[in-house]
Amino acid sequence: MKAIARPADAVDRILDQWRRERPDLELAPMATIGRVNRCAALLQRRLDETFAEFGLNGWEFDVLATLRRAGEPHCLAPTALFSSLMVSSGTMTHRLQRLEAAGWVSREPNPCDARSLLVRLTPPGLALIDRAVTAHMANEHRILAPLKAAELAALDARLIALLAILEPQPRD
């Protein structure tokens, strides 16, 4: 079967260099992982452009969105937040200070545990994330619009399979 000709991409150029310098290497994994990494970087740029329209960066969007999708009362313990976002507790503390200073979250006593606090979206934070997530979804639809439904489904299925390999499985 003859391969369909397509324009070379940045990964092709890197692979050509490696083929020249190290013809003994099997480069198929580098091609796949290189393209996944390049797609991730390029996607993040496109997502960040939309977040910036709302005065947000990626991590701010992620924290606010995590609180929003938690449902009423849009409140979580800091440990639940940093576990969900895969950051350290120190990083989360710094981020929460910035979000609180912006007026998008508040930290309140936990009625179930007097020794801890809960993080809650403020009304301005809720309004902001609702506008931002609507724009974010429209942006994601635009990004993926050139793909046919079957292509998108196939891509999603393969990414699910890759995530199953890479993500740690929860222990019972």
Mind giving me the DSSP string for 100-149? HHTTSEEEEEETTEEEEEEEEE-HHHHHHHHHHHHHHHHHHHHHHTTS-H
The pLDDT assigned to 4 comes to: 56
Q: Give how far Cα 18 sits from Cα of 10, 13, 27, Å.
A: 13, 9, 8
> Tokens representing 147?
């793909």
Identity of residue 113: D
Q: What is the band of 3 on the pLDDT scale with cuts at 50, 70, 90?
A: low
Q: Which residue has the higher pLDDT, 2 or 78?
A: 78
List the domains of the chain with CATH numbers.
57-155 (1.10.10.10)
Q: Which residue has the higher pLDDT, 97 or 170?
A: 97
Mean pLDDT of 55-81: 92
88-133: per-residue pLDDT in tens? 777 778 888 999 999 999 999 888 877 788 999 999 999 999 999 9
Q: Give how far Cα 119 sits from Cα of 31, 114, 127, Å.
A: 42, 14, 16
As a whole number of angstroms, the distance between CA 96 and CA 120 comes to 10
91-103: per-residue pLDDT in tens? 778 888 999 999 9
As a whole number of angstroms, the distance between CA 172 and CA 78 comes to 24
Global pTM?
A: 0.84
140-151: per-residue pLDDT in tens? 999 999 999 999
Please list, residue by residue across 19-39, b when 16 or more beta carbons sit within 10 angstroms of its beta carbon and e when fewer do.
eeeeeeeebeeeeeebeeeee
12-67: per-residue pLDDT in tens? 999 999 999 999 999 999 999 999 999 999 999 999 999 999 999 999 999 999 99
The pLDDT assigned to 2 comes to: 46
> Tokens representing 167?
């993500």
> Tokens representing 93?
């503390």
